[in-house]
Amino acid sequence: MRQVLLLVALSLWAAGAGLSLVWSTRRRWSRRAAYGAAAAASALVAVAGALCVSGSALTLNLGHLLDFGQTTLRLDQSAGLFLTLTGSLGVIISLALVNWSAPPGTAGDRAIAPGYMLLLASVTVTVAAADAFTFLFAWEALTVSFYVLSAATRRRRDQPTDAWVTAALGQAGGAALLVALLLLAGAAHSFGFAAWAGLPAGGLHDTAYALVVFGFGTKVGLTPFQVWMPRGYPAAPGPVRAAMAGLAVNAGFYGLWRFLAILGRPPEWLAAVVLVLGGLTALLGIAFAAVQADINRVIAYSSAENGGIIMVGFGLALAGAYVGNSSLVAVGLLAGSLQVLAHAVAKTGLFLGAANFEAGAGHADLGRLSGLARSQPWSSTSFAASALTLAGLPPTIGFVSEWFIFEALMQQFRLHPLTLRLATAGAGALIALTAGVAALTFVRLLGFTVLGRPAAGLGPQSTGERGALAKAALGAVAVSCFGLAAVAPWVVRYIARGLGPDVARSVTLGALKSPWVLQPVFAHFSALSTSWLFIVMPLGLLAVTLATVLASRGRFLSVRRVPVWRSATPGVHGEDSYNAFAYANPVRHVLANILGTQKEVAVVAADPPGPGDVSSAPPAQAEGPSQAEPTEEPHHAHVVFKATVAEPVESYFYRPAIAVYLAAVGAAKRLQSGRLEAYVGYMLLALIAVLIVAASMP
């Protein structure tokens, strides 16, 4: 049954891509039908995933389908867990695309629908693959889909560069995975994943382990590979960004989970590196998200932040595997899986809402988006629920997942090696700082975009939230942000079954102190009751409100009108003087060493400052004219404060590396003398070097 559902889903995605290519994008019905087929196929994948989680493992041998050895798929609990998430999000995003693609020119580019179908199919095959070649084939197809989607529209001058950066880092990760899988296949004399589980520890095992983390780390945005996210995500059109950030990136996390079960005990240094890099990635991601002016770049940088938090959970699981503590493995993977779920749902909601905001306003400038709750209530509700989730505030699933992350990190005293203890403590400190900055970031995002007074010049409501299908997609995201937290114990039970290939289900279910009370796997440590979040706390709030109303004799509900506070700084221009740029200034100042903040103060005698500038002094009148000169009209000047930030990874890692590469290329060009005998000599020297190396090998 499961294999039939997957086969039908792949056929529907192929039909949707073909429909879009053959009938072109000028026909409205073909665009809607293509994404409708994608929604139906995604629903089948979700059902197949649920069957995998609830049933036993199933291996499918497809023969020589890909013309390279045996093509095999394995539908077990781990694959089912991620197939469920992939299919569920695919339904939501596809329904949103049905309405988004209705107007001509919105999402009607010929390459977008096929690229989207390729993304869904490649993620599904990646999750189900059970041999090296099938896995690499699907992984490279996913990289191709990212390039197609980020380069399809070409509406910005720098979009081709962004697409190439996305593809280049994807290829770097794919190359690392290729080398790792070839090493493992050579040692086991088999391309099947099942044959790699018994490989002994040693240099080859540790090298392959590191390459696997490197390869999947590029996809999930682990430092220093996160630079493609703020480039690739905004380059994609509309709701397709949600598919890239909320759905496709989960293939990287699945790969890490899968290979932990295959390779087993990692080297100590690798667990420490993952913990530290995960914490640094989270802090860098949220720090740069806090100061961005483009709403899509804010969301993209927050993807790097969440990827770092998830990698910290995975790093703790690696540490537990190293010391042989299955409970630490369980709490690390459970915390990471809950964060994967929270990030996937919330990131989908943020990008869906932002796509509709951008379509309605005609721009994505955070400084000019305000009060959209009135014109786009469905998008704003989904956006607000998602922002609260990623801020880790109760009663959302983001609060539950981050609670598990912190509780998992508090288990560092159970690790005996000092290196792992220090790495876990450092990661905990970085994640704590990240959580504080995240609250500021998403309050800024929510307060200036959804709430407040509507900004002047906003366009009409986006068609992306009109229609029953679009409203159903946006409503499903908003409900999921809170509903998943309400049924968190059931979610934990489902994840525990999905983690069965990695750690025993009974160990993971130690997270249930009682049917409705959670604990971090270890008993007598701490507890979280979702019933308190959704029943007792609201009832307590209601009781306090009623008591306040009665004590005030109804005056508590009276409306009091006061002048709007417009910042305490005199001379600030604009109706909403305290804007998004000013809100982020404390972050620019406090985290200046991380952000590379550069400040500039200038006196300008011109028009009032734009939305990205903050005036720091009142207008000053110029000196009066002298008696000997003709009289001139006085003019006003204002002091403008500007601040810019610089990506440290790009500045101190990629740019020097690119400079060295270009210098090497320039030196190599000198070898092109144009003489045939010189080129033959180069080939002879290379052949001699290869023979010497081959002869020296045992």
Task: Tell me the average confidence (pLDDT) per consecutive run of 10 residues in the chain, 698 residues long.
Answer: 86 84 65 85 93 85 68 88 94 88 60 89 93 91 92 77 88 92 88 85 90 93 90 88 92 94 92 95 91 90 94 95 93 95 94 87 80 85 93 90 93 90 94 91 86 63 71 92 92 92 90 88 85 80 88 77 55 56 75 74 56 39 37 53 75 83 80 72 86 73
pLDDT (0 to 100) of residue 537: 79
Q: Considering only CA atoms, which of 573, 567, 583, 611 is closest in space to residue 455?
A: 611
Q: Considering only CA atoms, which of 569, 168, 468, 526 is closest in space to residue 331?
A: 526
Q: Are residues 270 and 257 in the same domain?
A: no
Exposure on the CB side of residue 453, measured as CA atoms within 13 A:
10
**Is residue 535 assigned to a domain?**
no
- 171 to each of 36, 176, 227, 669, how far by Cα in Å? 31, 9, 14, 25
Q: Report the C-alpha gap between 282 and 402 in whole angstroms.
A: 13
pLDDT (0 to 100) of residue 604: 61
Residues 6 or more apart whose CB falls under 8 angstroms from that of 672 comprise: none
Query: What SS3 class is residue 621?
Result: strand
Q: Are residues 160 and 81 in the same domain?
A: yes
Residue 543 gets which letter from DSSP? H
Cis peptide before 395 (omega within 30 of 0): yes
pLDDT (0 to 100) of residue 659: 87
Q: Do residues 110 and 20 make contact, with C-beta atoms less than 8 angstroms apart?
A: yes
Q: Are residues 54 and 182 in the same domain?
A: yes
Q: Are residues 57 and 102 in the same domain?
A: yes
pLDDT (0 to 100) of residue 215: 94
**Is residue 192 assigned to a domain?**
yes
pLDDT (0 to 100) of residue 450: 84
Q: Are residues 283 and 197 in the same domain?
A: no
Q: Are residues 198 and 125 in the same domain?
A: yes
| Tokens, residue 503 | 């750690």
401-404 contacts at long range (C-beta below 8 A, 24 or more positions apart): 401/335, 401/338, 401/339, 401/341, 401/342, 402/309, 402/339, 402/342, 402/435, 403/528, 404/313, 404/331, 404/334, 404/335, 404/338, 404/339, 404/511, 404/518, 404/520
* Single residue among 229, 263, 297 that ends a domain in this structure: 263
**Domain count within the chain:** 3
pLDDT (0 to 100) of residue 51: 92
pLDDT (0 to 100) of residue 160: 83
| Tokens, residue 19 | 């429909």
Q: Report the C-alpha gap between 509 and 494 in whole angstroms.
A: 10
The number of beta carbons lying within 10 Å of the beta carbon of residue 403 is: 19
**Is residue 604 assigned to a domain?**
no
pLDDT (0 to 100) of residue 445: 86
Residue 477 gets which letter from DSSP? H
pLDDT (0 to 100) of residue 612: 43
* Three-class secondary structure assignment of 157-220: CCHHHHHHHHHHHHHHHHHHHHHHHHHHHHHHCCCEHHHHCCCCCCHHHHHHHHHHHHHHHHHH
**Is residue 505 assigned to a domain?**
no
Q: Considering only CA atoms, which of 252, 230, 255 is closest in space to residue 305?
A: 230
Q: Report the C-alpha gap between 141 and 138 in whole angstroms.
A: 5
Q: Report the C-alpha gap between 314 and 254 in whole angstroms.
A: 11
Q: Report the C-alpha gap between 252 and 307 in whole angstroms.
A: 10
Q: Are residues 184 and 333 in the same domain?
A: no
Q: Is the Cα dihedral 253, 255, 257, 259 positive or negative?
A: negative
Note down the domain range covering 668.
659-696
Per-position DSSP letters for 367-410, written without gaps between them: GG---TTTT-HHHHHHHHHHHHHHTT-TTSHHHHHHHHHHHHHG
* Single residue among 491, 517, 541 that ends a domain in this structure: 491
Whole-prediction pTM:
0.86
Query: What SS3 class is residue 517?
Result: strand
Q: Are residues 425 and 459 in the same domain?
A: yes
* Single residue among 248, 263, 278 that ends a domain in this structure: 263
Q: Are residues 256 and 288 in the same domain?
A: no
**Is residue 462 assigned to a domain?**
yes
**Is residue 102 assigned to a domain?**
yes
pLDDT (0 to 100) of residue 426: 94
**Is residue 497 assigned to a domain?**
no
Chain-centroid distance, C-alpha 598 = 28
β-sheet bridge partners, residue 620: 637
Q: Are residues 253 and 358 in the same domain?
A: no
Exposure on the CB side of residue 303, measured as CA atoms within 13 A:
37
Q: Are residues 345 and 208 in the same domain?
A: no
Beta strands of 274-316 (E only): which ranges?
none
**Is residue 364 assigned to a domain?**
yes
pLDDT (0 to 100) of residue 630: 42
Q: Are residues 183 and 234 in the same domain?
A: yes
pLDDT (0 to 100) of residue 364: 81
pLDDT (0 to 100) of residue 563: 60
